Every structure is written in structure tokens, then in C-alpha cells.
Amino acid sequence: MLSFVEGDVQKLITKVTGEIKTLKQKVNELEEMLHNTNTALLSSGGSAVRDLVLGCVTDALQISIGAMVRSADHESIGANQLQEARNALAAKQAELKKLEDQKI
């Protein structure tokens, strides 16, 4: 029973860790897109249009990045809680093993 629960906890930790990596990758992609947009707009020459578009793109990307960071923070908190549960489970398993050894 305990190994079944431990397996479930490990699966959740693995899933959360994967989701955090995916979010970090998406943030990197958005930052690269922002950089490419900045480069293209700066080289285009139309300062008024460039500033307007750049402001809109920057705001949109900052909102997206902020949402992803908040989501990653929540996932990280979840991963920490799962790790704590896993540690508690390991401690209980050690206690059970000790009791079983004492019975013998």
C-alpha cells in the first residue's frame, strides 16, 4: 500500500517538474520573441509606429510572462508539498520497517 502511494507521489512530482520546465521554456520563447520584435522594429525606422507596436507587444509579453511565472510558482509550491509528503511517507516506511524488524 505504501509503495503504491509513494509511486503516486513520485508521478505527481515528475509531472509538476515537467510542467515547470515547459513553463520556463515558454518564458524563454516569449523573451526571444520580444527580442526579435524589438530588433525588427528598431531596424524598421518608423519611430511612432515602432513605439506603439513595441509598447503593445511588450505589454502583452509581460502579462504572459507574469502569468507563467505565477503559474510556475504555484506548481513549485505544489512540488514542495509533494516532496514533503514523500519525505513523510519515507519516514513512516522506515518506522514500519523498524517495527517489523523488532517483531522478528
CA distance 28 to 53: 21
- Give the pLDDT confidence of 30-74 residue by residue, as tens digits: 778 777 777 776 676 656 666 666 667 667 777 777 776 666 666
The pLDDT of residue 13 is above 70: yes
DSSP secondary structure letters along 54-88: HHHHHHHHHHHHHHHHHHHHHHHHHHHHHHHHHHH
Domain residue limits at 69? 2-103
Domain count, the chain: 1
- CB distance 69 to 27 below 8 Å: yes
pLDDT at 75: 64
